[in-house]
Structure 1
Amino acid sequence: MALSVLDLFSIGVGPSSSHTVGPMRASRRFTQELTDAGLLDSVARVKTELFGSLGATGIGHGTDFAVVAGLSGHDPETVVADAIPQIVTAAVENRRLQLAGEREITFDRAKDVVMHRRRSLPGHPNALRITAFDGDGGVVAEGEYYSVGGGFVVSADELGQSLSEPEAAEPYPFSSADELLQRCRESGLSIAGVMRANELTRHSEEHLRSQLLRIWEVMRECVENGCTRTEETLPGGLRVRRRAPALRERLRADATNRSLQGDPLEAMEWVNLFALAVNEENASGGRIVTAPTNGAAGIIPAVMHYYREFVRGASDEAMVDFLLTAGAVGILFKTNASISGAEVGCQGEVGSACSMAAAGLCAVLGGTPEQVENAAEIGLEHNMGLTCDPVGGLVQVPCIERNAIASVKAVNAARLSVRGDGQHRVSLDQAIATMRQTGADMKSKYKETSRGGLAVNVIEC
């Protein structure tokens, strides 16, 4: 295992990790490479071409905005989300762009951000090519990048390479769920304990804990922001109504109504709210935690909020263990299959997040490593084959409700597994392999291109 839990959970902006966060990182990386090579002062114009799923649904996912922000030197973790439209508007109106925030160059949006809706590059469905030109039109530099899911970006040279080995040897390396369980048995540690020990080869205990609690803090802020937005509809043209603000008011009112008290499914209504709030905030381009993607970003926060609000004994330490456990499962998906909707469909996004959330909740409910693995398998198995067919290329329909449903599934998977003994017929490794194979068999029109499924059977306006 070479990935860190802090790689898997990253703070960024909506609406998409693959189509917004990834392209912004790739564009900013290109400017850094120009700077490092001493070429920045030679650049007069930059052209970005988007291929595959990025070209097909880039407008609805804000990919063009992300590219401009990245070329301007902004990073998705630190950029002020509400400022991105202003950055783009200024560049378009002035026909000038501040490359890397330092060098002013010409900018023509129609010519300099090109979306190839029917062209792809062979390496990955999410591809972009960036070319820098000098004043005479000569090529100064060119970069080809792939947004491979969850905001991760690799260059053409890096694509296909195995994840690099960690700088220091991990005490409990694993590359499968079976190996992870074996490490737990050998060491007597929980899955969170194994992850913590491995993470300490990269980070100090204090840094790891503070960063994970920061991630939890941003998740809480995201729920609150989603519940307090005043706009009635989401951006993008579908005019999808926000539900989180009114739903919270209704649930709070119900809590004071004695005739409604004691509803055994009240907690699930709150889980729905938490997920809706996060994903409506994501659809608005707000601050979000990629977990493990933006399209599925509501599931882990919703289940963590469920634990905090409805389970006795919730603590910061439990939240850290939740994220470490969920991170271990997420790393298995990232290394052995995919978390990219453009590569394997929504089973790789919502399915992975549901599995991770179920594992994390099972762990903090006191589940054994075997029960946690069972919870993760249940969470994935019942999202198998899920297509990615966003209406209008927006991360709204069916994405927002899908997060709410998967959050409830995750809670149920955790509670079901913790009542068992961890023995089950289908292993998590088998489920992940099946998900990978199913994604390979899935037609491209069902993998974040908006050319199949609901995207063609639902009238956009």
Structure 2
Amino acid sequence: MAQEQISVFDMFKIGIGPSSSHTLGPWRAAERFVQTLFQKDILSRVQQINVLLFGSLAKTGIGHGTDIAVLLGLSGDDPVTFDVSQVMPKVESIKRNHRLSLGGQHEIAFDYSEQMLFLFDQSLPFHPNAVTFQAFLDDGTAMSETYYSIGGGFVVQEKDTTSVLSEVDLPFPVDTAEELMKWCMRTGLKISELVLENELAWRSEEETREGILHIFRTIRECIYKGCHTEGVLPGGLYVERRASKLNRKLLKGRSYSDYDSWIEAIRQGGKYFAYILDWVSCFALSVNEENASFGRVVTAPTNGASGVIPAVLQYYITFHDAYRENKIIQFIATASEIGAIFKKNATISAAMGGCQAEIGVSSAMAAGALTECLGGSQRQVLMAAEIAMEHHLGLTCDPIGGLVQIPCIERNTMGAIKAITAAQLALQSNPDKAKVSLDAVVSTMWETAQDMNVKYKETADGGLAIKVPLSLPEC
């Protein structure tokens, strides 16, 4: 059996919100389908495209922007570089004009109401997030491909794992926390150092460093933009953005002109508990408000949980005077390895495991990363990750209106605070006396996911999604 090899850049992907599994994944699936048409040399012969959305992609597809992502993917646009201000104008143009430029090269007729099909009552067995593309050619024949968005922007086809597996020989292959610990003990390497050694199997050290710093710059820009943008989130819930007002309130008129001077302005407010707590919440809110607005974010490891790791990283940078490239790279590298263990042995898809698979995993990643950066041992890193996940077990995914807003945005603040608490607990504890291992909690999370009622797995069929009328404001 091939071993799943996951890079830092698999866990941290740049994309557009609001969901990695419902937006970024379907976007990439659409791109892959267009590429298949290119490879078969039949793109120019396509006369009609049908899109069939199954399971969770159908039930919460509108709220998550699945249809929007698919149209942009079919049009040949890239979520990493596409101008986020043009998302809605381009999609509205496609709907209004009933025309779609396939791959940006071949224009065909496209009737959104007839050819974008939400199959609410149908689900495919391989994974709840399924999309099928049908292409009808000029000679009357047709072809179709089915893709599964399995969380965090990962896309596979059934019995085909080539999009997830990388055929490289890693010097330190890791599937479980126990294996990770063995390598660390044998080599004396920190977890982040071991990760960076493995990354050399894919690219040079300089390319990895620059790639991680590019990820950080995207995170930094997202936080800063979110803290300076007011208004109401799209989607019909009329949720007011809070990060900008909180940012202004906490700064109390202190002046700044850019990200760097903003950090200094924040530091001038002191380090008392309530002040730091408010800023951690502000950082998390800023990212997820951007995510909910089709802004550019980084999967960490998913879009729905994209505020937890940035908030904890920003906390570390700001209140521990750690605005240094090496520390940022160390944080992100450590977080990626923790996330990869969950990805390999459980899931990072809310449609498979509920919100424990997203906020829980992101909190564990952030806790482990912060612990290493604050000087914790390898065992303390794993202990922190275990503590963070242990107290997210059973967390359901029940988004109101199928939107990544309530309770998703506030859950990122809670996940960030739990991560910091878990790191502090681990740093003040002897991991040799821990009763629960990280591998045990990963296994428990997966068993809990399998036992969880499907209505609590990103379907908007249960929980808050049906208890709270859409006309009510968020508490």
TM range (shorter): over 0.9
Amino acid at match of 1:455: A
CA contact (8 A) 2:271 2:319 kept: no
Q: Map 1:142-221; keep pairs closer than 5 Å.
A: 142-158=144-160, 164=165, 166-167=167-168, 169-221=169-221
Match of 2:226 in 1: 226
Match of 1:81 in 2: 84
Q: Secondary structure at the match of 2:60?
A: helix
Say which of 378, 383, 395 aligns to 2:404: 395
CA contact (8 A) 2:98 2:111 kept: yes
> Within 2, Cα distance between the matches of 1:289 and 1:73?
20
> Within 1, Cα distance between the matches of 2:96 and 2:164?
42
CA contact (8 A) 1:254 1:261 kept: no
Q: Map 1:161-310; keep pairs closer than 5 Å.
A: 164=165, 166-167=167-168, 169-230=169-230, 232-253=231-252, 263-310=272-319
> Within 2, Cα distance between the matches of 1:198 and 1:262?
37
**Residues 203-225 of structure 1: per-residue CA shift (max 9 Å, x gap):** 10000000101111111100111
Match of 2:419 in 1: 410
How many residues are aligned here?
Answer: 455
CA contact (8 A) 1:129 1:142 kept: yes
> For the structure 1 residues 143 and 380, does the alpha-carbon distance in structure 2 shift closer, same or farther, using more than 3 Å as the test?
same
Say which of 348, 362, 368 aligns to 2:371: 362
CA contact (8 A) 2:156 2:164 kept: no
Match of 2:454 in 1: 444
CA contact (8 A) 2:305 2:412 kept: yes
> For the structure 1 residues 15 and 9, does the alpha-carbon distance in structure 2 shift closer, same or farther, using more than 3 Å as the test?
same
> For the structure 1 residues 224 and 313, does the alpha-carbon distance in structure 2 shift closer, same or farther, using more than 3 Å as the test?
closer
Amino acid at match of 2:228: T
Cα distance, 1:75 vs structure 2: 1.9
Cα distance, 1:261 vs structure 2: 5.8
> Within 2, Cα distance between the matches of 1:432 and 1:313?
30
Cα distance, 1:140 vs structure 2: 3.1
Cα distance, 1:263 vs structure 2: 3.2
**Residues 20-71 of structure 1: per-residue CA shift (max 9 Å, x gap):** 0000100111001100110101101100000000000000001111110000
Aligned-pair RMSD on alpha carbons? 1.6
Match of 1:430 in 2: 440
> Within 1, Cα distance between the matches of 2:327 and 2:272?
27
Runs of 4+ in 1 over 4 A off after TM superposition: 254-257
**Percent identity among equivalent residues?**
47
> For the structure 1 residues 154 and 143, does the alpha-carbon distance in structure 2 shift closer, same or farther, using more than 3 Å as the test?
same
> Within 2, Cα distance between the matches of 1:253 and 1:427?
44
Say which of 131, 145, 151 aligns to 1:128: 131
> Within 2, Cα distance between the matches of 1:87 and 1:299?
31
Q: Secondary structure at the match of 2:147?
A: strand
Amino acid at match of 2:392: N
CA contact (8 A) 1:149 1:293 kept: yes
Unaligned residue ranges in structure 2 (runs of 5+)? 255-264
> Within 2, Cα distance between the matches of 1:273 and 1:35?
45
Cα distance, 1:251 vs structure 2: 0.6
Match of 2:257 in 1: none
| TM-score, normalisation: structure 1 | 0.96
CA contact (8 A) 1:55 1:115 kept: yes
| TM-score, normalisation: structure 2 | 0.93
Amino acid at match of 2:217: E
Cα distance, 1:162 vs structure 2: 11
Match of 2:382 in 1: 373
Amino acid at match of 1:186: R
> Within 2, Cα distance between the matches of 1:265 and 1:411?
14
Match of 1:459 in 2: 469
**Residues 189-213 of structure 1: per-residue CA shift (max 9 Å, x gap):** 0001111111111110000000101
Amino acid at match of 1:427: S
> Within 1, Cα distance between the matches of 2:219 and 2:388?
21
Q: Secondary structure at the match of 2:133?
A: strand
> Within 2, Cα distance between the matches of 1:91 and 1:262?
51
> Within 2, Cα distance between the matches of 1:435 and 1:139?
45
Q: Map 1:66-145; keep pairs closer than 5 Å.
A: 66-135=69-138, 138-145=140-147
Q: Secondary structure at the match of 1:146?
A: strand
CA contact (8 A) 2:155 2:163 kept: no
Amino acid at match of 1:458: V
> Within 2, Cα distance between the matches of 1:5 and 1:99?
31
Amino acid at match of 2:385: A
Per mean C-alpha deviation after superposition, the further-off stretch among 348-357 and 114-123 is 114-123
Amino acid at match of 1:217: R
Q: Secondary structure at the match of 1:265?
A: helix
Q: Secondary structure at the match of 2:226?
A: helix
Q: Secondary structure at the match of 1:302?
A: helix
CA contact (8 A) 2:20 2:302 kept: yes
Cα distance, 1:313 vs structure 2: 4.3
CA contact (8 A) 2:27 2:73 kept: yes
Q: Secondary structure at the match of 2:213?
A: helix
> For the structure 1 residues 21 and 191, does the alpha-carbon distance in structure 2 shift closer, same or farther, using more than 3 Å as the test?
same
Cα distance, 1:139 vs structure 2: 3.6
Amino acid at match of 1:459: P
> Within 2, Cα distance between the matches of 1:431 and 1:219?
29
Cα distance, 1:79 vs structure 2: 1.4
Cα distance, 1:254 vs structure 2: 8.5
Amino acid at match of 1:59: I
CA contact (8 A) 1:344 1:442 kept: yes
CA contact (8 A) 2:127 2:150 kept: yes
CA contact (8 A) 1:39 1:140 kept: no
CA contact (8 A) 1:34 1:141 kept: no
Cα distance, 1:134 vs structure 2: 2.0
